[in-house]
């Protein structure tokens, strides 16, 4: 019987196109049943056209169904891919413009930080609804989550739906390793690597080719190129000893050292507010693809795309064993990080499911930074689970970049302003600002 794959938030047209291109590229998945769901009827119509055009380009013959009703879409699912963005571009703009009035700089704003906290709070009610629907109509399905803030979302789902089978998927580790191999001129296909930590702040702990440690080659490359040293990730690597697995723009937000200092922003060429531009580009790309579909019935498949969800589905359906980096709840996997919150670890995937690999202790300096990262993650989740508004500014108070930049009174006022601005998108118990 062919598996049923549901994409929630299928109106994220470009990402839907990449996911389906990867899925249809596997011969064993060429006739799957795909159900597309979005709350925006126009975007759902576009997603359906993308699905058919991508299938034709791949020579696949899937069954493609659309549904604006989420529960109907989920009925009978085997795999649920979550790509929602609650509030879309308007909410993203609010997450940047309001903190900027206080002098708080962000680059991406989707992970921790004030932007990540409020993105998480907007997302949690929808995640709770997805989890409740899945428990009723497809309790054995795998939820493959791409939506950020990843660590918050996986941790939240553990609290509200511990029985659900959940993997958090992100391509940051893969593309970090591709980029590192390009820097030193070594083919990516010839290396092996091992990383662990938290999503967007994991660490490349081993990186080898034919038994040779490749870090010394990276050291030589950095020493020879002053411009390379003007990257946050390189700066962190030189001081910490292990390379972080997200971009410099992302990495700058998770520590207190960079964004509050104009000189460091200039030295490390950081683009403050970058994600607002990325969000605008996504809107333009959606419009471009929609226009392209008016005069073409096929869409080219990106052969360089290597998303994890299609690989997970293929592995589970065909018993093709793979090891990927996945986000799961810590249960003794990383022994010097707290249990009950999401961590990113190597995970074996096969027909029996997903099997996170116990890592043990991270290097102490890496674990210390990850514990700082997990402070706002834990408190934002608990704010929603407990319905406690005071935990919202508490999450911001322990966030590294926010705490390094603003006074406590400014943090509380900023959280109040964002709470009012996001209004009914937030959990009901958190729609009134916390009071001192």
Dihedral sign for Cα 413, 416, 421, 425, please.
Answer: positive
- The catalytic residue among 171, 174, 261, 355 is 171
First to last CA, the chain: 58
Q: Is 171 a catalytic residue?
A: yes
Catalytic amino acids? 171
């Amino acid at each position: 019987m062919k598996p049923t794959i549901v994409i929630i938030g299928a109106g994220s047209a470009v990402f839907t196109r990449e996911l389906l291109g990867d899925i249809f590229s596997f011969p064993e998945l060429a006739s799957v049943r795909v159900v597309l769901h979005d709350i925006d009827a126009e975007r759902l119509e576009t997603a359906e056209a993308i699905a058919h055009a991508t299938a034709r380009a791949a020579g696949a013959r899937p069954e493609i169904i659309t549904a604006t009703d989420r529960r109907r879409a989920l009925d009978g699912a085997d795999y649920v891919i979550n790509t929602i963005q609650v509030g879309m571009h308007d909410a993203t703009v609010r997450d940047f413009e309001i903190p900027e009035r206080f002098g708080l700089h962000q680059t991406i704003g989707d992970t921790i930080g004030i932007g990540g906290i409020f993105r998480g709070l907007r997302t949690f009610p929808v995640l709770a609804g997805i989890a409740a629907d899945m428990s009723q109509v497809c309790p054995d399905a795998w939820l493959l989550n791409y939506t950020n803030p990843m660590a918050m979302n996986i941790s939240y789902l553990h609290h509200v739906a511990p029985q659900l089978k959940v993997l958090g998927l992100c391509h940051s580790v893969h593309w970090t390793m591709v980029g590192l191999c390009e820097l030193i001129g070594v083919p990516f296909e010839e290396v092996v690597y091992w990383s662990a930590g938290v999503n967007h702040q994991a660490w490349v702990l081993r990186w080898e080719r034919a038994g040779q440690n490749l870090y010394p080659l990276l050291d030589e490359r950095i020493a020879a190129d002053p411009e390379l040293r003007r990257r946050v990730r390189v700066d962190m690597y030189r001081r910490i000893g292990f390379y972080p697995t997200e971009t410099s723009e992302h990495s700058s937000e998770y520590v207190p050292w960079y964004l509050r200092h104009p000189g460091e922003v200039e030295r490390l060429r950081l683009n403050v507010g970058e994600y607002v531009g990325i969000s605008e580009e996504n809107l333009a790309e959606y419009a471009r693809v929609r226009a392209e579909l008016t005069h073409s019935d096929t869409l080219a498949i990106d052969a360089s795309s290597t998303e994890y969800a299609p690989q997970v589905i293929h592995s589970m359906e065909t018993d093709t064993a793979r090891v990927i980096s996945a986000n799961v709840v810590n249960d003794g996997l990383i022994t010097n990080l707290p249990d009950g919150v999401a961590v990113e670890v190597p995970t074996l995937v096969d027909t029996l499911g997903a099997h996170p690999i116990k890592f043990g202790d991270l290097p102490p300096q890496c674990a210390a930074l990850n514990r700082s990262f997990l402070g706002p993650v834990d408190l934002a989740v608990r704010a929603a689970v407990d319905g406690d508004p005071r935990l919202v500014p508490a999450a911001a108070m322990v966030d590294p970049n926010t705490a390094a930049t603003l006074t406590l009174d400014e943090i509380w006022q900023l959280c109040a302003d964002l709470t009012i601005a996001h209004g009914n998108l937030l959990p009901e118990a958190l729609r009134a600002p916390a009071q001192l």
